Chains A and B, each alone.
Chain A
Amino acid sequence: MANTKTSTAKKKSHFRMVLRQLKKNRAAMIGLAIFLVEVAIAVFAPALMPYGYTDADYTALHQPPTARHLLGTDDMGRDILSRLMYGARYSLVMGLTSTAGAMFLGICVGSIAGYFGGQVDNIIMRILDIIQSIPGMLLTIALAAVLGTGVDKTIMALSVAGISGYARLLRANMLNVRNLEYIEASQSINCSKLRIIVSHMIPNSISPLIVTATMSVASTIVLAASLSFIGLGVQPPSPEWGAMLAGGRAWIQQYPHIVIFPGLAIMITVLSLNMLGDGLRDALDPKLKN
């Protein structure tokens, strides 16, 4: 039923259509808002922080929330609010960069497997089977142990551990796209293999990856937090949220607030990203909408 109501039919690129759809989704907007506020906090952390994130006040150990320290102090008398603000940098940086890294590497591997198919695809798929039969957390732990502790090495570990998910997803999409007519068309006008992959195949199989990427930024943040929780990943004194959680474990009984607030920070970040991810998924795949 052609809809005669709309005026001139604007040239609506797929991307702008998705954005329009996304704007209508209230929850996604709330998620985006929270996420942007956090990015702002992370960027302006040094200015916003009431105290330096390493300033220790030995007279005020384990203080519960008071006027001076809004969220209280930790086991070394450092202000938890400032550490959470600065800590946002670690979580967001690690979450975003390792997801981007994993996605990039995954796309390379996936597109090679997807395009060439046959023996190449088989070998890559078997290697991915092997990697994926090691439970995710264990693979990340082993990689973190190999590469060592610290932010940069943790990002590498998380990226490498994330490759197989993206590779498999992209390959699956590429296989359906491969035998569509417009790929044969581009082959017929003898485009180079790389051009076909990059300009035709990837854009058309990328949208599910975008949804997975948004969701996996959230799960990567949790993974990074659990790594430092068990002593790998980011080490004290840097205020990574997982490390702060691990630090507060011994004082669960008298001073639970040391544990509660970092966890809350992780949850709110992950919540906002999940809301955004849900919105994106609905926007990209409308039939679930009504």
Chain B
Amino acid sequence: MAITKNTNEMPFLQIKDLVVEYTSDGETIHAVNGVDLSLRRGETLGLVGETGAGKTTIAKSILRILPDRSAKICGGEIFVNGKDLLKLSEPEIQQIRGNEIAMIFQDPMTALNPVKRVGDQIAEVIRIHNSISPAEVEKRAKEMLELVGIPAQRFREYPHQFSGGMKQRVVIAIALACNPDLLLADEPTTALDVTIQAQVLDMIADLKKQKNSSMIMITHDLGVVAEVCDQVGIIYAGEIVEYGSKEQIFDHPTHPYTIGLFGAIPDMNEDEEWLHPIEGLPPDPTNLPQGCAFNPRCPYATEECRKGKIPFAETPDGHLSRCLHTAEVLKKEANA
């Protein structure tokens, strides 16, 4: 079921009913179960959810860099600028990777090749996508380094000579080297300590503005979403359970899981005895519960929630939530 927020101009990225499964040791893991997304040029979409909810799998399916042995895209389409990436041949998708769509990885310590010079790793993506002279390639690679705040003289050094934050800057340099139209940032700051996080986020934000590229920010940190994203999608067990603009989600969380997420953030100015985690455990991906995946942990769950696929419902303030009891939940939350 295609969802488009406003239908006047063609969305830059459109994901329709994406289904991805992993197989390991004979068991199949349902990582992504029918995700629909769309993104306009220059916009940033935040994907929020616990680890293992399938956020990274979605990003990797866009670039088709899932480990081809154990992972399989079972269904759905991914349109970028009108082209369905899943139908492209390998050489064609290789043209797009790093050029039109780029990705920033989560753990900088392992994202860079330890035995290759930092400069060469940046130059490589430039050389692949631009037929220009090697001197020109090196010049542009050095520019990228300067852009992310690393002195060009360190061009010939190795990853082990860089700190965590510096390495993440190199990863960002690699991602932005060819001015990608779409940037996939997979929890770019999780592995960094707090002070460095802010610098990196600011850098990503203004580089994005300079190059007018759109971005998908994957994170489980609601603070990051607030600062960077325009649209927000809450993901649970491989499904988008709530989708809307940042203001709508932060001001009127409608889906019980989203409410639970916000509730779990400790409030600085209140002295709380206990934290408020969401009860129960995240579902086992090899044996997902029927109907709404959240029902075992949902205080409002009824029999209906356990039957069939739950459709999106429009919430009073106009964003979408995949819940049958939206009205009842809002009423109860309003007076809590």
Chain A residues within CB distance 8 Å of chain B: 1-4, 290
Residues of chain A contacted by B52 (CB below 8 angstroms): 1
Which of chain A's residues has its CB closest to B51's CB? Answer: A1
Residues of chain A contacted by B282 (CB below 8 angstroms): 1
A2 to B286, CA, bound (A): 12
| 8 closest Cβ pairs, A-B complex | A290-B24, A290-B25, A1-B284, A4-B284, A2-B281, A1-B52, A1-B282, A290-B70
Within 8 A of A (CB), among B52-76: 52, 70
Could you name 11 residue pairs across A and B whose Cβ atoms are closer than 8 Å?
A1-B52, A1-B282, A1-B284, A1-B285, A2-B281, A3-B284, A4-B281, A4-B284, A290-B24, A290-B25, A290-B70
Within 8 A of A (CB), among B284-317: 284-285
Residues of chain B contacted by A2 (CB below 8 angstroms): 281
Residues of chain A contacted by B284 (CB below 8 angstroms): 1, 3-4
A290 to B23, CA, bound (A): 10
Determine the interface band of chain B, counting residues with CB < 8 A from chain A: under 10
A47 to B244, CA, bound (A): 84
Which of chain B's residues has its CB closest to A2's CB? Answer: B281
Given A2-B281, A4-B284, 6 other A-B contacts at CB below 8 A?
A1-B52, A1-B282, A1-B285, A3-B284, A290-B24, A290-B70
A290 to B285, CA, bound (A): 19
Residues of chain B contacted by A4 (CB below 8 angstroms): 281, 284
Chain B residues within CB distance 8 Å of chain A: 24-25, 52, 70, 281-282, 284-285
Q: Taking the nearest CB of chain B, how far is it from the CB of A283, in angstroms?
A: 15
- Counting chain B CB atoms within 10 Å of each CB, the highest count among A1, A2, A3, A290 belongs to A1
Which of chain A's residues has its CB closest to B52's CB? Answer: A1
Residues of chain A contacted by B70 (CB below 8 angstroms): 290
Q: Taking the nearest CB of chain A, how far is it from the CB of B52, in angstroms?
A: 7
A1 to B284, CA, bound (A): 7
A290 to B281, CA, bound (A): 27
Residues of chain A contacted by B25 (CB below 8 angstroms): 290
Which of chain B's residues has its CB closest to A3's CB? Answer: B284
A1 to B282, CA, bound (A): 8
Which of chain A's residues has its CB closest to B70's CB? Answer: A290
A4 to B281, CA, bound (A): 10
A2 to B282, CA, bound (A): 10
Residues of chain A contacted by B24 (CB below 8 angstroms): 290
Q: Taking the nearest CB of chain A, how far is it from the CB of B90, in angstroms?
A: 24
Q: Taking the nearest CB of chain B, how far is it from the CB of A158, in angstroms?
A: 39
A290 to B69, CA, bound (A): 10
Q: Taking the nearest CB of chain A, how far is it from the CB of B8, in angstroms?
A: 43
Q: Taking the nearest CB of chain A, how far is it from the CB of B110, in angstroms?
A: 15
A2 to B283, CA, bound (A): 10
A4 to B285, CA, bound (A): 12
A97 to B24, CA, bound (A): 41
- Counting chain A CB atoms within 10 Å of each CB, the highest count among B24, B25, B284 belongs to B284
A64 to B157, CA, bound (A): 68
Residues of chain B contacted by A1 (CB below 8 angstroms): 52, 282, 284-285
A1 to B50, CA, bound (A): 12
Which of chain A's residues has its CB closest to B281's CB? Answer: A2
Residues of chain A contacted by B285 (CB below 8 angstroms): 1
A3 to B284, CA, bound (A): 8
Q: Taking the nearest CB of chain B, how far is it from the CB of A9, in angstroms?
A: 16
Residues of chain A contacted by B281 (CB below 8 angstroms): 2, 4
Residues of chain B contacted by A290 (CB below 8 angstroms): 24-25, 70
Which of chain B's residues has its CB closest to A4's CB? Answer: B284
A1 to B25, CA, bound (A): 15
Q: Taking the nearest CB of chain B, how far is it from the CB of A92, in angstroms?
A: 36
Q: Taking the nearest CB of chain A, how far is it from the CB of B5, in angstroms?
A: 34
A3 to B70, CA, bound (A): 20
